[in-house]
């Protein structure tokens, strides 16, 4: 039974596309047949994050408008044969697709894949609504910042109003040192404010920058903390109980000097 | 907070994370229920008025109203300290 999961956030730039690419890759690494769909029509990005931008021939709008069959538009991942990307159109706008067409498209994908991950555009307008209309579950990505949390709360309400159940939460770009100093909202604070179930905690990690530069998912990088966090989230999506990673401080100069004071866990 | 935190500026002013949390709580109440800080203040004053009919020494400035988000429902929690005055 296929699962359609939409990754959304309200605010832009919090890591939806990175999350979609990494979860899709992680699920496929574990043997699932996965399609990742870029629903951000007009601002396509999932292709470059996954390093597949040179392989695009047809896109989502071509399929919807009948210029291409779904199978022609799906791009196979470079490494994982069970992972496919359905790219967004770059030259059209979000009104190019109707909610009914999105439902039809996701239902077509259901017959061929175990997981369909939809990368939602930012905002609360048509593009967002199209991204959730065919979903069984919704994941909200937020960062521990007031603007992102506020927007996430708005999205929780809209997802519930659309009768998609209560979304689950990924808190991205946590900086344990700042949290320990009381200068960044903790994961507990964010959960208390939003009151939805926590699916994962992803630490701030420079490896995301380098992996995105190369168009390779961070889950391939054994040393990337964020990559490991995404692998764990993929396991949780598969129903496994996986404890949250302890967030180790990167000790600062002074704290390193004092040694024992420098290491704390959250 | 830890040793260094205490040494350098601990307690000097509120940590920004707790400021952020407090501000967010207010903003989310407003977003979800269209309850502005002004309306919240007015609500406290009126609550104090009603309560004063039954209890002496209720001060609207002392009332703390917070919104708690639950699984199914949100809760508005009011903390109303009562001055321990035996009839003066």
- Closest C-alpha to B64, from B81, B50, B49, B51: B81
pLDDT on residue A232: 97
Domain-embedded: residue B12? no
CA atoms of A139 and A9, how far apart (whole Å)? 8
- The string of pLDDT tens digits covering residues B29-54 is 778 888 777 888 899 999 999 999 99
- A156, pLDDT greater than 80: yes
- Closest C-alpha to A119, from A8, A223, A203: A8
Tokens describing residue B62: 């002392």
Hunting for tokens 């209890």 — which residue is that? B55
pLDDT on residue B87: 55
Domain-embedded: residue B25? no
Residues of A in contact with B77 (CB under 8 A): none
Sort A42 into a burial class: Cβ within 10 Å, 0-12 / 13-18 / 19+: middle
- Could you list the residue range(s) of the whole structural domain that residue B51 is in? 37-88
Residues of B in contact with A185 (CB under 8 A): 17, 20-21, 24
Domain-embedded: residue B48? yes
Domain-embedded: residue A134? yes
- Contact between chains at A258 and B25 (C-beta distance less than 8 A): no
- Closest C-alpha to A33, from A42, A24, A41: A24
What does B58-80 look like in DSSP terms, one character per residue? --GGG-EEEEEE-SS-EEEEEE-
Chain centroid to CA A86: 15
Domain-embedded: residue B59? yes
Report whether A42 contacts A88 (CB < 8 A): yes
Domain-embedded: residue B84? yes
Q: Is A253 helix (H, G, I), strand (E, B) or coil?
A: helix
How confident is residue A215, by pLDDT bands cut at 50, 70 and 90?
A: very high
- The string of pLDDT tens digits covering residues B52-86 is 999 888 888 888 887 766 666 777 888 998 877 65
pLDDT on residue A138: 98
Domain-embedded: residue A186? yes
Q: CA A97 → CA A10, A59, A104, A158, distances in Å? A: 20, 12, 11, 20
pLDDT on residue A22: 98
How confident is residue A256, by pLDDT bands cut at 50, 70 and 90?
A: very low
- Contact between chains at A157 and B71 (C-beta distance less than 8 A): no
Domain-embedded: residue A102? yes
A to B CB pairs, distance under 8 Å? 62
pLDDT mean over A20-47: 97
Q: How many domains does chain B have?
A: 1
**pLDDT, mean over chain A:** 93
- B65 close contact with A: CB closer than 8 A: no
pLDDT on residue B69: 63
- Closest C-alpha to A102, from A51, A39, A59, A12: A39
- Closest C-alpha to A115, from A86, A78, A156: A86
- Contact between chains at A185 and B70 (C-beta distance less than 8 A): no
Domain-embedded: residue A26? yes
CA atoms of B27 and A22, how far apart (whole Å)? 32
pLDDT on residue A253: 46
- A165 close contact with B: CB closer than 8 A: no
Domain-embedded: residue A129? yes
- Contact between chains at A182 and B18 (C-beta distance less than 8 A): yes
- Contact between chains at B16 and A194 (C-beta distance less than 8 A): no
- B19 close contact with A: CB closer than 8 A: no
- Could you list the residue range(s) of the whole structural domain that residue A35 is in? 3-261
Higher pLDDT, B25 or A123: A123
- In angstroms, what separates the C-alpha of A154 from chain B's closest C-alpha? 8
Domain-embedded: residue B28? no
Q: Is A196 helix (H, G, I), strand (E, B) or coil?
A: coil
- A248, pLDDT greater than 70: no
Q: How many domains does chain A have?
A: 1
- Contact between chains at B2 and A261 (C-beta distance less than 8 A): yes
pLDDT mean over B13-27: 89
pLDDT on residue B39: 87
pLDDT on residue A151: 97
- A124, pLDDT greater than 90: yes
pLDDT on residue A199: 98
Nearest to B4 among A157, A193, A261 (CB): A261
Domain-embedded: residue A266? no
Residues of A in contact with B31 (CB under 8 A): 150, 153-154
Nearest to B71 among A145, A189, A195 (CB): A195
pLDDT on residue B72: 65
- In angstroms, what separates the C-alpha of A164 from chain B's closest C-alpha? 14
Report whether A6 contacts A129 (CB < 8 A): no
- Contact between chains at B17 and A185 (C-beta distance less than 8 A): yes
From A1-10, A130-139, A151-160, A239-248, the region with the lowest mean pLDDT: A239-248
- Contact between chains at A153 and B32 (C-beta distance less than 8 A): yes
- Contact between chains at A150 and B27 (C-beta distance less than 8 A): yes
- A134, pLDDT greater than 80: yes
- A103, pLDDT greater than 80: yes
Domain-embedded: residue B29? no
- B69 close contact with A: CB closer than 8 A: yes
CATH number of the CATH domain containing A83: 3.40.50.300
Domain-embedded: residue B15? no
């Amino acid at each position: 039974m296929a699962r359609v999961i939409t990754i959304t956030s309200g605010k832009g730039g919090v890591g939806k596309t990175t999350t979609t690419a990494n979860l899709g890759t992680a699920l496929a690494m574990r043997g699932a047949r996965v399609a990742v769909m870029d629903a951000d029509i007009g601002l396509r990005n999932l292709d470059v994050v996954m390093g597949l931008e040179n392989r695009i021939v047809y896109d989502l709008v071509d399929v919807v408008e009948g210029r291409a069959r779904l199978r022609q538009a799906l791009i196979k991942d470079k490494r994982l044969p069970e992972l496919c990307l359905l790219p967004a159109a770059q030259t059209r706008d979000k009104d190019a697709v109707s909610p009914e067409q999105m439902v039809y498209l996701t239902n077509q994908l259901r017959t061929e894949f175990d997981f369909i991950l939809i990368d939602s555009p930012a905002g609360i307008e048509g593009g967002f609504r199209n991204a959730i209309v065919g979903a069984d579950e919704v994941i909200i990505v937020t960062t521990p910042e007031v603007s992102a949390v506020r927007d996430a709360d708005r999205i929780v309400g809209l997802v519930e109003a659309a009768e998609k159940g209560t979304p689950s939460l990924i808190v991205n770009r946590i900086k344990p040192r700042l949290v320990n100093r009381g200068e960044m909202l903790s994961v507990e604070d964010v959960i208390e404010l939003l009151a939805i179930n926590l699916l994962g905690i992803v630490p701030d990690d420079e490896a995301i920058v380098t992996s995105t530069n190369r168009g390779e998912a961070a889950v391939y990088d054994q040393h990337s903390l964020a990559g490991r966090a995404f692998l764990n989230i993929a396991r949780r999506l598969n129903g496994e109980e996986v404890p949250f990673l302890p967030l180790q401080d990167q000790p600062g100069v002074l704290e390193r000097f004092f040694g024992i004071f420098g290491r704390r866990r959250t | 907070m830890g040793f260094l935190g205490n040494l350098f500026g601990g307690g000097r002013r509120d940590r920004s994370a707790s400021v952020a949390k407090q501000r967010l709580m207010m903003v989310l109440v407003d977003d979800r229920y269209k309850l502005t800080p002004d309306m919240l203040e007015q609500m406290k004053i009126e609550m104090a008025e009603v309560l004063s009919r039954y209890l002496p020494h209720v001060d609207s400035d002392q009332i703390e109203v917070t919104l708690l988000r639950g699984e199914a429902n949100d809760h508005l929690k009011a903390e109303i300290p009562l001055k321990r005055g035996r009839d003066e």
